[in-house]
Amino acid sequence: MYKNIEKRTVLQLKDLVAYQPGQVVSQTLVQNEKVSMTLFSFDKGEEISTHASGGDAMVTVLEGIGRFTVGDDVFLLHEGETLIMPKDVPHAVHGEEAFKMQLTVSF
């Protein structure tokens, strides 16, 4: 089920995805018909444009600050904070500063 991750090892998720200048970087940990789990790093000012998901999307910021637009609402999330973006509601993600997050989508 899990890939790109060591089993039976204590890990810091934020260390599994590196920053790249001018980029959004992703590292998939789980991908199947029921759940998707991905780590992301965003360089400052980088973003994922508005889109909708076929499942509820839960994000947890692992480092830094990210701006999440969900429908008409805007949220600034800091390290350790979590937000659920409902299925089929348009959302976008922007790096207020360089930041890392874990995304889990449940279908």
Break the chain into its structural domains and give their ranges. 13-106
- Spell out the per-residue pLDDT of the chain, length 107, in tens: 899 898 999 999 999 999 999 999 999 999 999 999 999 999 999 999 999 999 999 999 999 999 999 999 999 999 999 999 999 999 999 999 999 999 999 99
Asked whether the beta carbons of 98 and 22 are under 8 A apart, the reply is no
Q: Edge-to-edge strands of the sheet including 73-78? A: 47-51, 91-95, 65-70, 73-78
pLDDT of residue 88: 98
pLDDT of residue 1: 82
Q: pTM for this structure?
A: 0.95
Q: Which CATH class is domain 13-106?
A: mainly beta
pLDDT of residue 82: 98
